[in-house]
Chains A and B, each alone.
Chain A
Amino acid sequence: MRRPEGPPRRRIPPSGLAIAFGAASILVALFLVLPVFVVIPVSFSGSSFLEFPPRSLSLRWYREYFNSHTWIDSTVNSAKVGVLTSVLATVVGTGAALAIQRARFRLRSMLTGLILSPMILPHIVLAISIYAVFARLKLIGSIWGLVAVYTVLATPFVYLNVSAALQSLEPALEQAAMSLGATRWRALWHVTLPLIRPGIVSGALLAMIFAFDEVVIALFISGTTAVTLPKTMWDGIRTEINPTIAAVSSFLIMAYVGLLAAASAVRARAIARRGGRGTADD
């Protein structure tokens, strides 16, 4: 409790190894980040094929995006799917985490394995098996069909985050609330859930990003009436590689960087609060 950072680190004079690793890590970091930002200058290109650096600048690919029903509709669809999946996966995953943590199941580790198993299943395998079932149930091209599949795939993210938060929770707090007369559900709602909120929020965020971004399942079951943004991008990349994709991509990158900043702000606040509580305990 007193050492959230682990064992104390002493200043060690940089050895040859440390210098080599430092240099390598800078190169690897550049390899990771540069491709992401390469897309942004291309999106402002004035020509209709990919060139870098762009010879003329324009906003025509952004105009293309905003004037196209296909692009706008699929963006709206993806936003819907992302939000609905996030809400459902958060409820289902938090429930599962509470259940696994607190109920006495005989096959607990098997149940945990079952809940997490969608994480290791190759998406192409799930995609074709769902396609076969949904085609018969006339669920191809349904937003709710997509949301159902994404909820199954995103629940493990919520489950892992909420379980981790529950484990670091002090059980006495909830018991104290109940000993003061709160019912179990009241204690859960007013004590436990607010305390594990950082875990819930990061799980919900992961679920939303996942659903907003997923391609393989969408290729098979989005049909023509629930086309998502990744599906439209996929079609665009396969047929005509023009900088509209770059404009959309730049948008997404900025949105993700914004979300990342928001998420790290949430985490920083949580850490600050936990730190504050720690000193109060001492």
Chain B
Amino acid sequence: MATELAIRAAPVRRPWETGWGWLLLPCLALLAGIFIVPLLQLGATSVTQPEPGWGNYVRAITTPVYWRVFATTFNVAAGVTLVCLLLGYPLAYVLTTARGHWAAVLWAAVLIPFWTSLLVRTYAWMVILGRRGIVNQTLMALGLREVPLDLLFNRFSVTVGMVHILLPFMVLCLYAAMRGIDRGLLLAAENLGARPIQAFVRIFVPLSLPGVVSGSLIVFITALGFYITPALLGGRRDVMIALLIDDYVSQLFNWGMGAALAFLLLAVTLVVFLLANRILGFDTIMGARRDETT
């Protein structure tokens, strides 16, 4: 018994470690069948239909119409990211300092929309911004407007809807970074004569930058491929890339072009992600803390 104990407690951990790898098998099988193979096939479609070659990509890159759609997508995604950052930063900051009921209320405000159906929230914006919506009813009841404003189906409504959906992600990323900042540093700066605003700008903001980058990255990447909100709240003039892909596949049955556009979207997403990965490292972005020692 004593020897057995000694053997088992020995620092050599080999026998304890073998076999765990098999648990990865179901995951890899699913990824291969439902993720990698379909994507490879889509890639093949993009260079074989309607005829073999890079024709679809050449057309996608050289035609101004597609350029405009990509530009719109980029602009909307960048705008949404910026607004999320501006709105999310103060909220995340307050979340790191608030205590008690106050903190509970603010957390509920972040988490309730986070858990609420995306369609429900998009629908809510239709109720708020529509011609008979809350904003227009209020304006007309107050006598500020005779005719209802067109608040829906334009870039404004798309941006508002997407910000509402993506803001909780931004706040969670910022919060994760801000929570680790030692407030004592701010006090030290103030003791050394800095005004609170100076201490905030020169110490707190730089320390929170990893959260800013990871939050912006997640919001931007998600916004690039957004389909639901632009489809329901957007106008025909602000077509985003996901809608164009859908049009090519389900309206025009032009799978080759749809697949090529999908791969361009995927490529842009990957480039943005890898750039951020260079700056931050994968685990910081994904919010996973990995322990290198195990």
Are the C-beta atoms of B41 and A25 separated by less than 8 Å?
no
Q: Given A122-B242, A215-B228, verify A252-B24 contact (CB < 8 Å).
A: no
B217 to chain A, nearest CB (A): 9
Are the C-beta atoms of B132 and A24 separated by less than 8 Å?
no
Are the C-beta atoms of B130 and A99 separated by less than 8 Å?
no
Which residue among B31, B90, B266, B291 has the maximum number of chain A CB atoms within 10 Å of its CB? B90
Are the C-beta atoms of A249 and B120 separated by less than 8 Å?
yes
7 cross-chain pairs, A with B, having the tightest CB-CB distances, nearest first? A122-B225, A29-B109, A95-B23, A99-B24, A103-B21, A129-B42, A15-B196
- Residue pairs across A and B with Cβ atoms less than 8 A apart, 15 shown, are A25-B91, A39-B120, A52-B127, A101-B294, A125-B265, A128-B259, A148-B30, A167-B290, A212-B117, A215-B228, A216-B227, A245-B123, A249-B123, A252-B116, A260-B108
Interface segment, A4-12, A60-68, A272-280?
A4-12
B146 is an interface residue with CB less than 8 A from chain A: no
**Contacts from A to B (Cβ < 8 Å):** 6-7, 9-10, 12, 15-18, 20-22, 24-25, 28-33, 35-36, 38-39, 42, 49-52, 91-93, 95-96, 98-105, 109, 111-126, 128-133, 148-149, 151-152, 155, 160, 163-164, 167, 171, 175, 178-179, 184, 209, 212-213, 215-216, 220, 230, 233-234, 237-238, 241, 245-246, 249, 252-253, 256-257, 259-260
**Contacts from B to A (Cβ < 8 Å):** 5, 8-9, 16-28, 30-31, 33-35, 37-39, 41-42, 45, 87-88, 90-91, 93-95, 97, 105-106, 108-113, 115-128, 130, 132-134, 137, 164, 167-168, 179-180, 182-184, 186-187, 196-197, 200, 221, 224-225, 227-228, 232, 242, 245-246, 249-250, 255, 258-259, 262-263, 265-266, 269-270, 273, 282, 286-291, 294
Are the C-beta atoms of A50 and B8 separated by less than 8 Å?
no
Interfacial chain A residues near B250, Cβ < 8 Å: 220
Chain B binding site: helix, strand, loop or mixed by DSSP?
A: helix
Query: CA of A188 to CA of B102 in the docked complex: distance in angstroms?
Result: 40
B154 to chain A, nearest CB (A): 18
Q: Given A32-B109, A104-B17, A252-B117, verify A149-B34 contact (CB < 8 Å).
A: yes
Are the C-beta atoms of B87 and A257 separated by less than 8 Å?
no
Tell me which of A7, A33, A120, A128 contacts B221 (CB under 8 A): A120
Interface contact tally, CB-CB below 8 A: 291
Are the C-beta atoms of A103 and B17 separated by less than 8 Å?
yes
Q: Given A124-B245, A128-B245, verify A119-B227 contact (CB < 8 Å).
A: no
B250 to chain A, nearest CB (A): 8
Query: CA of A123 to CA of B265 in the docked complex: distance in angstroms?
Result: 11
Are the C-beta atoms of B286 and A237 separated by less than 8 Å?
no
Are the C-beta atoms of B126 and A237 separated by less than 8 Å?
yes
Are the C-beta atoms of B24 and A95 separated by less than 8 Å?
yes
Interfacial chain A residues near B187, Cβ < 8 Å: 10, 12
Are the C-beta atoms of A126 and B23 separated by less than 8 Å?
no
Query: CA of A122 to CA of B245 in the docked complex: distance in angstroms?
Result: 11
Query: CA of A113 to CA of B34 in the docked complex: distance in angstroms?
Result: 16
Interfacial chain B residues near A220, Cβ < 8 Å: 250
Interfacial chain A residues near B288, Cβ < 8 Å: 112, 116, 160, 163-164
B35 to chain A, nearest CB (A): 5
Are the C-beta atoms of B179 and A6 separated by less than 8 Å?
yes
Tell me which of B23, B106, B269, B290 contacts A122 (CB under 8 A): B269
Query: CA of A216 to CA of B250 in the docked complex: distance in angstroms?
Result: 13
